[in-house]
């Protein structure tokens, strides 16, 4: 068995978990700070871009069905090797940065909400160990884990946003577009770093098993994930109103009204812990992809786990020890948004074309 093979159903569920995984940590408060009660509209716009790119990417998967070319093969053959390496390097940076932002969001969540105070290294160590374990066991194990947990996580997320519904003042979301449509669209672009979770698919392209449908399962997952994210953002702003930008741990606060009585304890935090599983899965997936990036950049095919590459990826997780998340967001990500857009939004649109070109060249070579 190839331990990195995944079915399209597994991709769909994994994608759903990835959509839900990172968006409810600090993003809702950042968006509320940018565009106030219109943050959910901004999220909706981001998902519209995502949907278009996703469709193109799925099309590329469909084209790649028989040949099972991997991302570096496609890029090498279609846009030349140097460009391919450059794109893979950008991917690597995106994955590392996204993992770090997730890690620091989680770190904050644990130290502030869950009262678990420790230093960065000791906090990262178990998560890194988990990611390495997952790399050793293969991507298929992670995909199966997502299949096992997605129902539970979905219920947890729904429970978290259903519970404060009675307290939320949805009237506060009106009038729609008060922050200005230009501002809203710009925000959805400037915060695009948190979106386009489908980028992990690039690194499992060669292992995707397609049965019948490609579009239906993934787009269904996407629709569910996008709807939940939009609704959750809307509930968050409706619940906290003008105070929303101050609540940087959206998920830990949103369920505060869930208990029927104030003496019932914060049961919502247990639900929150279940949701956190999806954040961890997301981190594992991104670390796996970063590891794969190294494999592709150096044109290697790691049959067994390459510990030097693993060590290098894990070293990058020490980044928040030197740069704060705010600095990261205000400098690297702010200026890096253009190259990131290239791999997040431009590359998927070109993928069908690139895949076809690569396939044609492969066929010619074979003949």
Partner 1 sequence: MSNIKRIAIVILVVAAVGVIAGSFSGSDVLDRAIILGMGVDAAEDGGVILTAEIVSPGNGSEQVGTFSKTVTAKGETINVAIQNVAELTSKEASLGQCVVLVLGEQYFKTVDFSDLTEYFINHHSFKESAVICCCEGNAMDLFNKADALTQSMSLAITTAILDESEKIAVSSNSLLEYARSQYELDRTGFLNYISFVSSENTDAQLPDKTLGYIGYRQLAVFRQNKYVCTLDEQLVKGMSLFEPQVTGETFVSFEDTVTRTVQVTNKNVKLKPDGKGGFEAELKVTVRYGRTDSEEVSGALTAKNDKEIPQKVLDDVSQQIRSVAERYLAAQAEYNFDLLDFHEAYRQKEGSSDALFNKPMSEFAVTLTVEVQEA
Partner 2 sequence: MKVDFSKLQTLYRGQDDFRLREIDCGIELKAVCLDTMIDDAKVSAFVLQPLAYVNNAKNLNDVYKKLAAGTGVRKPPNFFSAVEDFVNGYTLIFDAENNCISVDTRTAVGRSVAEPPTSMVMRGPREGFVEDIKVNLTLIRKRLKTPNLKTVNITVGKYTNTAVTVCYIDGIADKRVVEDAVQRLESVKVDGVLDSSYLARYLDVSKTVMFRRVGSTEKPDIVVGKMLEGRLAIIVDGSPMVLTLPYLFVEDMQSPGDYYENSTMTTLSRSLRFVSVIASVLLPALYVCLQVYNYQIIPLRFLITVLNASEAIPFSPLSEMILVLIVFDILREANLRMPSAVGISLSLVGAIVLGDAAVQAGLLGAPAVMIGALSGIGLFTLPDNTLILSLLRLLVTFIGGIMGLLGVIVSTLAIIVYLASMQDYKTPFLAPFAPDIPQDRQDAVAQIPVPDMANRPKSIPNNNGKRRG
CB 22 within 8 A of CB 224: no
Q: Which is nearer to partner 1, 245 or 339 (CB)?
A: 245
Rule CB under 8 A: which of 2-41 touch partner 2?
3, 7, 9-10
Give the number of C-alpha atoms closer than 13 A to the C-alpha of residue 95, restricted to the C-beta side: 27
According to DSSP, residue 163 is labeled G
**Could you tell me which stretch among 211-219, 224-232, 257-265, 317-325 binds partner 2 (CB under 8 A)?**
257-265
Size of the site for partner 2 (CB under 8 A): 40
Q: Which does 4 bind (CB under 5 to 8 A by kind): partner 2, partner 1, none?
A: none
Q: Which does 273 bind (CB under 5 to 8 A by kind): partner 2, partner 1, none?
A: partner 2
Among left, alpha and beta (phi > 0; psi -120 to 50; other), residue 136 is: alpha
CB of 213 to partner 1, least distance (A): 43
By CB under 8 A, name the binding residues for partner 1: 112-113, 115-119, 122, 125-126, 167, 171-172, 174-175, 178, 239-243, 246, 253, 256-257, 259, 261-263, 265-266
According to DSSP, residue 304 is labeled S
Q: What letters, b where the CB count within 10 A reaches 16 and e where it falls short, cover 226-251?
A: bebbbbbbbbbbbbbeeebbebbbbb
Q: Residue 208 in 3-state DSSP?
A: strand
CB of 335 to partner 2, least distance (A): 32
Q: Which does 145 bind (CB under 5 to 8 A by kind): partner 2, partner 1, none?
A: partner 2
CB of 21 to partner 1, least distance (A): 22
The reply to whether 108 sits near partner 2 by the rule CB under 8 A is no
Q: What's the length of the chain?
A: 367
- Nearest CA to 235 out of 185, 180, 160 is that of 160
- Helices 215-240 and 39-63, interaxial angle, to 10°? 170
Site residues for partner 2 per CB under 8 A: 1, 3, 7, 9-10, 110, 114-116, 118, 123, 126-127, 129-130, 133-134, 137-138, 140-145, 147-149, 263-267, 269-270, 273, 276-277, 280-281
């Amino acid at each position: 068995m190839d331990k990195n093979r995944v079915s399209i159903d597994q991709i769909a569920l994994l994608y759903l978990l990835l959509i839900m995984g990172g968006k409810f940590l600090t993003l809702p408060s950042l968006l509320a700070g940018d565009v106030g009660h219109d943050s959910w509209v901004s999220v909706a716009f981001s998902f519209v871009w995502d949907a278009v790119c996703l469709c193109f990417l799925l099309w590329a998967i469909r084209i790649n069905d028989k040949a099972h070319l991997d991302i570096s093969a496609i890029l090498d053959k279609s846009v030349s090797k140097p460009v391919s390496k450059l794109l893979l390097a950008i991917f690597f940076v995106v994955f590392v940065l996204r993992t770090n932002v997730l890690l620091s969001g989680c770190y904050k969540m644990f130290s502030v909400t869950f009262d678990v105070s420790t230093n960065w290294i000791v906090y990262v160590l178990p998560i890194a160990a988990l990611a390495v374990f997952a790399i050793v066991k293969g991507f298929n194990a992670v995909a199966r884990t997502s299949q096992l947990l997605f129902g539970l996580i979905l219920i947890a997320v729904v429970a978290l946003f259903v519970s404060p519904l009675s307290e939320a003042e949805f009237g506060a979301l009106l009038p729609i577009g008060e922050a200005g449509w230009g501002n809203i669209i710009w925000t959805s672009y400037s915060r695009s770093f948190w979106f386009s979770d489908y980028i992990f698919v690039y690194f499992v392209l060669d292992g995707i098993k397609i049965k019948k449908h490609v579009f239906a399962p993934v787009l269904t997952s996407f629709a569910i994930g996008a709807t939940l994210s939009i609704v959750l953002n809307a509930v968050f702003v409706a619940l906290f109103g003008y105070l929303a930008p101050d609540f940087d741990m959206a998920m830990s606060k949103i369920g505060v009204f869930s208990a029927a009585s104030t003496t019932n304890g914060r049961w919502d935090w247990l639900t929150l812990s279940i949701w956190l599983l999806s954040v961890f899965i997301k981190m594992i997936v991104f670390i796996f992809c970063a590891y794969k990036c190294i494999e592709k950049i150096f044109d290697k095919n790691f049959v067994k786990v390459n510990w030097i590459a693993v060590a290098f990826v894990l070293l990058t997780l020490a980044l928040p020890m030197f740069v704060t998340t705010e600095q990261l967001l205000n400098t690297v990500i702010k200026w890096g948004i253009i190259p990131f857009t290239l791999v997040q939004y431009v590359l998927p649109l070109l993928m069908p074309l690139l895949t076809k070109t690569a396939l044609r060249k492969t066929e010619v070579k074979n003949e």
